[in-house]
Amino acid sequence: MRVGIVCDKWEHHSAHGGYHQVCRRLDADELRPGPLYGFLRRFPKTFGGSFPDIWERWSVPYHSARELDVFLRSMWGGSRIYHFLYGENTVRILPYIKRRACRVVCTFHQPEEMLEHAEQFRRTISKLDGIVVLARHQIPFYARHADRGKIFFVPHGIDTKRFSPGTERRDLRRCLFVGNWLRCFETMAGLARRLGEARPDVRIDVVTLEKNFARFKEMPNVRCLAGINEAELLRLYR
C-alpha cells in the first residue's frame, strides 16, 4: 500500500529545517495541493457564515481545503495510506468519510493542554488508523481517546550533516535563544536581565519574531534578530 504524505512548509522553516523534511527520508509520495485546492480554499470564506455548525469545527480555510483536496483524491485513487504531518491543524472529517481501502495516519506536535478541551478533536482521534507522537509524554493523552496499539513514538529528526558543530573556536561567553511558538518569553527575559547584571560580558542572541523584541528592551547584553537566513542561523548555532 503506497503512502501519501500531506505536509506543509511554514514561512519560518529553513531549507533544511522543519518537520516536512521527513518527506525526503521516506519511500512515499508527497501530496501537494491539487487543481481543485484553489477553489476549495475560498469555499469556507464564501459560505462559512451559512453553515456555522460545520465550519466552526474546522480550522482555518487553508487546512479544511487541504483535507477536502485529499478526500477527492482518495475517491479516484487506489488503496493508500494518507499521513498528515500536522494532524492537529488539518484533519477534521476525513477519518469519518474516507474509503475503506484507505488509511489515515496523523503526526501530532502540540501539548495536551492545547487539545484537551477540543471535543471534536478528541472524537476525530478515535477514528484514526495510526497516531505518531514526537514525545513520550504525549502518549497518555492520546491513549485516553484511541487504541494504544495505534500510537507510535517517533522522535523529531535532525539533519546532523547540516546542523553539526563548527570547526572554529567557540565563544563561551555567548548564549542563543531561538523560536516563537510556546516559548516562555517571561522566563527568558528575566534570565537575560539577571545574567546581564551578574555577567555583563555574556552576550545573548535572540532569534524570534519582531513582535517579541519589546520584551528585551533596554537590555544591552541582548541582540534580537528576525528573518535571518539559514546560513546565519547555522553560524549562530555553531
Superfamily of domain 174-237: Glycogen Phosphorylase B; (3.40.50.2000)
Contact criterion met (CB below 8 Å) for 28 and 3? yes
DSSP, res 181: T
Q: pTM (2 decimals)?
A: 0.80
Classify 2-153 by CATH class: alpha beta
Of 75, 133, 79, residue with least CA distance to 103: 79
Higher pLDDT, 172 or 95: 95
CB atoms within 10 A of CB 222: 22
For residue 150, the model assigns a pLDDT of: 96
Per-residue pLDDT tens over the stretch 102-114: 899 999 998 888 8
73, pLDDT greater than 50:
yes
pLDDT at 58: 40
Residue 122 and residue 140 in contact, taking contact as beta carbons nearer than 8 Å: no
Return the domain boundaries, the chain: 2-153, 174-237
Give me 103's grid cell. Answer: 488509511
Cell of 10: 511554514
Given a contact cutoff of 8 angstroms between Cβ atoms, the answer to whether 231 and 163 are in contact is: no
Average pLDDT over the chain, rounded to whole? 82
pLDDT tens sequence across 143-181: 999 999 999 999 888 888 888 888 877 777 899 999 998
Q: Regarding beta strands 102-108 and 80-84, do their DSSP bridges make them parallel or antiparallel, or are they unpaired? A: parallel
Q: How far apart are CA 95 and CA 102, in angstroms?
A: 9
Establish whether domains 2-153 and 174-237 are of one fold: yes
Q: Does the pLDDT at position 16 exceed 50? A: yes
CA distances from 113 to 32, 118, 162, 184 (A): 31, 10, 33, 15
Per-residue pLDDT band for 37 (boundaries 50, 70, 90) equals low
